């Protein structure tokens, strides 16, 4: 039976990306100038070998050949015959980039380009062609034993007896034979003595075994590696008809090396590095990049099963009460409904936990990025990560990655000084960037902290005036001036580089964060450093909202957007040109948006002196929403209007309330953008009329 292996492709891609994370993180942490832990090298080797083996199984030849070069070099490092140099580390890191690009192409069913791989193949082959200590010793061993200068030829006899269920795991023997064919001359003889009578055969079982003759210069360990993926699903024997080197006939160093190599082979035969072992090791080093599936811990699944059991019990109790119900059972009914409410709430929380992933999925890209950038611009930077186990919704995680990258790049480029500048300022040569994540209320806070030169409010203010973003900054606080960084087109960079000034400014960063229902604020001190603090909701599926009433309609305002709610005082209301109405809120002049006018509905109050104002903030701007009444606060499940109806300006979604009615969720950023002037910061310096 032919099995469609394409159904396993996505799992292979996800596991391969995990293994690339393992390789990358381990290489970034390696210090080539000091002793390197052998287990780190083994881990890198296993990850590369796993990618090679999987790509060979699925017929991705380019990936197999490329990773084979990586694996060969790593094997020499693992055996101690090749040093792990900075040149090799750099090439291996570039290989990770190349393989990531290839996996993207394979997932999109596109052809693979050798633009990235070609120069790397040249580097790897040049390294392999150089005489290493191991190659030199093996040649000497060969000369001593055989009296010739060539590598000895092996005549391997391989007996491969697969277990009957091998086909169920997607392993087809023909793929193994194709890899053996590349090693030299070979002959395969099928043994069909185990084939059952035709009426006893089943299409998903294997009854054939094979005897294989292979003439090659390849060693036994390479043959074992081909069968490594099926080693638990077969009986395998490998013998050499012509003995190669006897340990007693070689110099002392040769005996030690052969013994070491032979020991490795025996150990592999006894305890192969299976997929499970590799997966367990990768968990201790790196987390996966975002993918289309989520791995859920068994504890979360067990909790769900227990909660469903509780729901079934509660449902049975309520069903029994429904039979011949009378008022004497009202107390039991009330208790049952309370229990149902509790069970439902716990079930909701546990289901949401399934989508939660540790923030390390987003943080793990930064060690490599900071390493590359610091080398490129000649700065010394130490990255410190805290709170990497803090969990965040998978959807939020996927969308916050790019804004975080931009903020970290800015911290390196604009924040951390050069070595000379830091020494002159009596600072350590190495700058520090800290990434931290923690929960605060119902949100998650991510901090990007640097100990660089800080943000000079005077320079920011002057640059904003020059660019026409504001007319006057004398009335603005430092925090308001820092907010000017997020205005479109703002930059203090003296020249455009590939680190900053790349056409994606801080305005895009804030827009992306705001689109997630979050916000960003800045703290800074000149000469000491800066803190960029990102506040995000834990999930995009459920919203903490404030219910408000306008006429007969109920709207929901995200709690994270609300600054305060107040009764309007007529003396603080001012009208300016363009029919704009402003409310003087301490140091700010806040534009008032009448919700009833925006959505053309009848309101109870149209006079400002008798209405309520809900002050909200988005994209660094504040507005006041005019409403008739404040109702309850509650969590609501967000339903998309675009997928169920169509897009409506000023509305981000809808939800169904407890009474079955539909309430619309206000799009705060959308309302601010379409109803207030773009240069809102100039309003802050206006005096009340």
Q: List strand residue ranges (DSSP E) for 192-233, in order.
A: 209-216
Residue 614 neighbours by CB under 8 Å, 6+ apart: 546, 548, 557, 562, 565, 624, 625, 627, 630
> What is the separation, in whole angstroms, between the first and last Cα of the chain?
84
Q: Tokens at residue 48, please?
A: 């590369």
Tell me the C-alpha distance between 158 and 151, whole Å.
Answer: 21
Distances (CA, A) of 168 to 165, 204, 206, 631: 6, 6, 9, 59
Q: Tokens at residue 471, please?
A: 């007319």
Report residue 137 CA to chain centroid gap.
45
Q: Tokens at residue 272, please?
A: 């192969």
Residues in the chain: 689
DSSP code for 359: T
**Active-site amino acid positions:** 49, 71, 410
Tell me the C-alpha distance between 321 and 336, whole Å.
Answer: 9
Using only C-alpha atoms, what is the Rg of the chain? 33
Helix ranges, 147-236 (H): 173-181, 220-226
With 0-12 CB in 10 A as exposed, 13-18 as middle and 19+ as buried, what is 15? buried
Of 386, 523, 510, the closest CA to residue 446 belongs to: 386
Residue 448 φ/ψ, nearest 5 degrees: -115, 110
Q: What is the DSSP code string of 425-443?
A: TT--SSEEEEEEEEEETTE
Q: Tokens at residue 521, please?
A: 């604020």
- Give me the residue label for tokens 């056409």: 503
Tell me the C-alpha distance between 179 and 183, whole Å.
Answer: 7
């Amino acid at each position: 039976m032919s099995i469609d292996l394409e159904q396993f492709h996505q799992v292979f891609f996800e596991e391969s990306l995990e293994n690339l994370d393992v390789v990358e993180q381990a290489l970034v942490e390696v210090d080539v100038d000091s002793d390197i832990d052998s287990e780190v090298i083994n881990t890198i080797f296993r990850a590369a070998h796993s990618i090679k083996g999987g790509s060979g199984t699925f017929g991705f030849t380019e990936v197999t050949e490329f990773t084979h070069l990586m694996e060969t070099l790593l094997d020499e490092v693992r055996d101690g015959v090749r040093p792990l140099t900075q040149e090799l580390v750099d090439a291996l890191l570039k290989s990770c980039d190349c393989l990531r690009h290839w996996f993207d192409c394979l997932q999109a069913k596109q052809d693979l380009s050798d633009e990235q791989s070609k120069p790397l193949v040249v580097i790897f082959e040049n390294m392999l062609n150089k005489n290493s200590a191991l190659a030199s010793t093996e040649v000497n061993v060969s000369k001593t034993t055989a009296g010739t200068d060539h590598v000895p030829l092996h005549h391997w006899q391989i007996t491969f007896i697969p277990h009957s269920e091998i086909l169920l795991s997607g392993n087809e023997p023909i793929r193994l034979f194709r890899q053996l064919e590349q090693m030299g001359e070979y002959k395969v003889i099928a043994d069909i003595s185990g084939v059952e009578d035709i009426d006893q055969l089943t299409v998903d079982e294997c009854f054939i075994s094979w005897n294989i003759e292979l003439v090659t210069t390849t060693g036994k360990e390479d043959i074992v590696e081909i069968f490594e993926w099926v080693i638990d699903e077969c009986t395998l024997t490998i013998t050499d008809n012509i003995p190669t080197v006897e340990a007693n006939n070689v110099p002392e160093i040769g005996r030690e090396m052969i013994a070491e190599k032979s020991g490795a082979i025996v150990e592999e035969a006894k305890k192969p590095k299976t997929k499970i072992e590799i997966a367990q090791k990768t968990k201790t080093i790196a987390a996966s990049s975002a993918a289309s599936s989520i791995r859920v811990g068994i504890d979360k699944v067990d909790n769900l099963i227990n909660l469903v059991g509780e729901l079934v019990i509660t449902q049975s109790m309520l069903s029994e009460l429904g039979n011949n119900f009378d008022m004497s059972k009202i107390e039991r009914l009330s208790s049952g409904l309370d229990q149902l409410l509790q069970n439902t709430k716990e079930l909701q929380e546990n289901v949401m936990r399934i989508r939660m992933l540790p923030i390390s999925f987003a943080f793990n890209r930064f060690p490599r990025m900071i390493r590359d950038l610091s080398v490129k611009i000649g700065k010394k930077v130490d990255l410190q990560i805290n709170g990497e186990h803090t969990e965040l919704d998978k959807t939020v995680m996927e969308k916050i990655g790019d804004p975080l990258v931009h903020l970290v790049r800015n911290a390196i480029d604009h924040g951390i000084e050069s070595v000379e500048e830091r020494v002159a300022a009596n600072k350590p040569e190495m700058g520090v960037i800290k990434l931290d994540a923690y929960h605060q209320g119902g949100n998650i806070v991510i901090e990007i902290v640097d100990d660089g030169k800080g943000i000079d409010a005077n320079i920011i203010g002057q640059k904003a005036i020059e660019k026409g973003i504001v007319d006057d900054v004398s009335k603005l606080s430092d925090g308001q001036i820092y907010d000017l960084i997020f205005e479109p087109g703002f930059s203090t960079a003296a020249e455009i580089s590939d680190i900053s000034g790349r056409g994606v400014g801080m305005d895009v960063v804030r827009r992306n964060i705001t689109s997630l229902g979050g916000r960003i604020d800045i703290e800074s001190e000149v000469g000491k450093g800066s803190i960029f603090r990102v506040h995000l909701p834990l999930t995009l599926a459920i919203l903490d909202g404030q219910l408000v009433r306008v006429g007969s309609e109920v709207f929901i305002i995200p709690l994270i957007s609300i600054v305060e709610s107040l009764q309007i005082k007529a003396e603080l209301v001012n009208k300016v040109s363009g029919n704009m109405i402003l409310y003087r809120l301490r140091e700010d002049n806040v534009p008032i948006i009448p919700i009833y006018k925006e959505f053309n509905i009848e309101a109870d109050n149209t006079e400002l002196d008798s209405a309520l104002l809900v002050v909200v903030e988005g994209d660094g701007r504040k507005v006041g929403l005019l409403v008739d009444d404040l109702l309850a606060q509650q969590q609501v499940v967000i339903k998309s209007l675009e997928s169920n109806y169509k897009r409506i300006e000023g509305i981000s979604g809808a939800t169904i309330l407890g009474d079955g009615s539909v309430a619309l969720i206000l799009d705060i950023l959308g309302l601010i953008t379409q109803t207030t002037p773009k240069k809102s910061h100039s309003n802050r310096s206006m005096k009340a009329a």
